[in-house]
Structure 1
Amino acid sequence: MMTENQIEFLRLHIIEQENYENIAEMLAVDRSTLSAWYEELKEERLAIAAIRNLWGRKKIKMEFSDFYKWYNSQDRNCLYCEITENEIKELIDTGRLQTKRLATRGKKLELDRKQPDLEYDDFNNLALACYWCNNAKTDTFSEEEFFKVGKVFKDIWKQRLAENKI
C-alpha cells in the first residue's frame, strides 16, 4: 500500500512533471528516497504513463493533470454497449471474444468523441467506449445515433457472458 507521501510523489513527478529537487523539498525527504520510490512504484508509474500516452496521442488540448483526473473519475464501462473492462477480460479469457486486433486494441476501453466533429478538448464531449463500439461508430455517427447500435452490441455481450456461466 502506498503512503500519502508516495502518492504525492507520483502526482508531483509523473503527473505534474516536477523535478526531484523541488519534490524533495516539498515532501521533506532526500533524493535517494525519491529514487527508491521511483523504482518501487513502477506499476503505478506505468499506469499513469499509459494515460499520458493516450492524452498525447489524441493531442488533447487540456492540461494532462485535468485529463488524468477526468479519466480516473470515469466508470470503466463502454458508454454505448455498457460492457466493462472486466467483462471484456472475462470474454477473452474464456475464448468467447477472439480477434487478431487484441494484440493492439480491445483489451481496454478507448477514448471516444461523442460528437465526432468536435475536438478532444471538452470533457463533455469525451467518453470511454469499447473497441467494437468505437471502431463501428467511427466519425460518422453522433452519440445519440450510436446508442441504437450499442443496444445490439449489449445484447450480444450479455448472451456471451451468460454462456460463460453455463
Structure 2
Amino acid sequence: MTFSTSDAEQFDRYVLRERNGDTVGVLAETDDGRIPLVEQYRIPTHRWTLEIPAGHAKDASERPLEVAVRKLREEAGFEAKEFTQFSRFINTPSFSTQHTALFHATGLTAVARDVIGPETPRSAVRLFTPDEAYRMVINGTIVDAKTIIALMRLRCGMEEER
C-alpha cells in the first residue's frame, strides 16, 4: 500500500490483514490449579514452543468465544464451564491489523482432543503449576508473546480487575 505524509511525501507499507480476523488465546486452569500448555513445533522459527491453546476463526461468522471453546477442545483436550475475556492486544502494530483476545477458562473437564492440523501432527499437552509456568517465562523457555502476556497477567492476579 502507498501512503502520503502531511508534507506530501509518499511511502510504501505492507499491511497484513489476517484471514478471518482476530486470534484468540485461552489460559485454562484445572481444578487443581495447573495450566495446560501445548508443546508444538513452529516452522517459521524452527523450534518447539509451549503455548496456551490459540487460533483464529474458521470463517467470518465464528465469534471469539466460539473460537476459544473450539481451540481449548482441539488443542488441549478440555471443555470449560466458564470463559472470561481478560485482555485484547494488538499483535504487531507496525504491519498487521491483527488483535488477540485472551480468555481465562475454568471448571475444566478432560475430553478427547481433535486433530489440530499439519504443522504439528504430534503436539503434546503438558500441565504446569502457575509458578512453574512463570519460571519458564523468566528463564526464556516460553517465548510466545500471547502466552507470556496471559501468564504474567495470571501472576499479577486475575481477580484484581473483576
Task: Give the TM-score of the pair, scaled to structure 2.
Answer: 0.30
Structure (1/2) with the larger strand percentage: 2
Task: Give the TM-score of the pair, scaled to structure 1.
Answer: 0.30
Greater C-alpha Rg: 1
Structure (1/2) with the larger helix percentage: 1
